[in-house]
Amino acid sequence: MRCPYCSAEEDKVVESRLAEEGRTIRRRRECLACSRRYTTFERPEEVPIIIVKRNGVEEPFDSAKVVEGIKRACKNRPVTMAEIESIAADVEDEMRADGRRPVPTSEIGRDVLERLRDLDEVAYLRFASVYKDFQELDDFERELGSLLKKSPPKQVNGGGP
């Protein structure tokens, strides 16, 4: 590490502590040449996630594309941006934890669908129509039937017995 003031390479660590909820180490350093202090941060290097698209092309994972796809499915639905970003972050975290590379986009879509099913059924159907490449009305009916089987019946508020 070079001193940002005099470019000397020798320094000493004066203080170390965790930062960013324990994901980073913050170090206060003192240059042995000019005696000025400066701060450095140490973070683990993240290995990029490589995905394989349907056509076989490999590319780096881009969480913004996942967020955009979920946003389109959730348009005019009571779903917050925080919920959308949470789904994308959960999917990315799961891929990082799994460690398999490359990851097929079909797995990413399946993970998003699982989370959307619990969040908003209309958004789930919209996302499924693109992910599963619906071509006919029968495709929607089949997916809706599957969704209704897995969803508990909704309680109707109204008059009692």
Q: What is the pLDDT of residues 11-42, one digit of tens each?
A: 999 999 998 888 899 999 999 999 999 999 99
How far apart are alpha carbons 60 and 51 in whole angstroms? 6
Q: Of 154, 153, 88, 94, which is closest to residue 127 (Cα–Cα)?
A: 88
Q: Could you give the percent of the chain with pLDDT greater than 90? A: 57
15, 70, 115 from 97: Cα distances, Å: 32, 22, 17
52, 99, 100, 123 from 57: Cα distances, Å: 6, 19, 17, 27
User: Do residues 124 and 95 both lie within one domain?
Assistant: yes
User: What is the model's pLDDT at position 103?
Assistant: 92
How far apart are alpha carbons 61 and 53 in whole angstroms? 10
User: Do residues 104 and 57 both lie within one domain?
Assistant: yes
Task: Decide if 126 is inside a domain.
Answer: yes
How far apart are alpha carbons 11 and 36 in whole angstroms? 10
- Segments of the chain assigned E as strands: 11-19, 24-31, 37-42, 50-52, 58-60, 103-104
Dihedral sign (CA 78, 83, 87, 88): positive
Look at the pTM and tell me if it is higher than 0.75.
Answer: no
48-89 pLDDT, tens digit each: 889 999 899 999 999 999 999 999 999 999 999 999 999 999
Q: Could you give the percent of the chain with pLDDT greater than 70? A: 93
Domain that holds residue 61: 50-148
User: Do residues 54 and 121 both lie within one domain?
Assistant: yes
- Asked if residue 98 has pLDDT above 70, the reply is yes
User: Do residues 77 and 59 both lie within one domain?
Assistant: yes
Domain count, the chain: 2
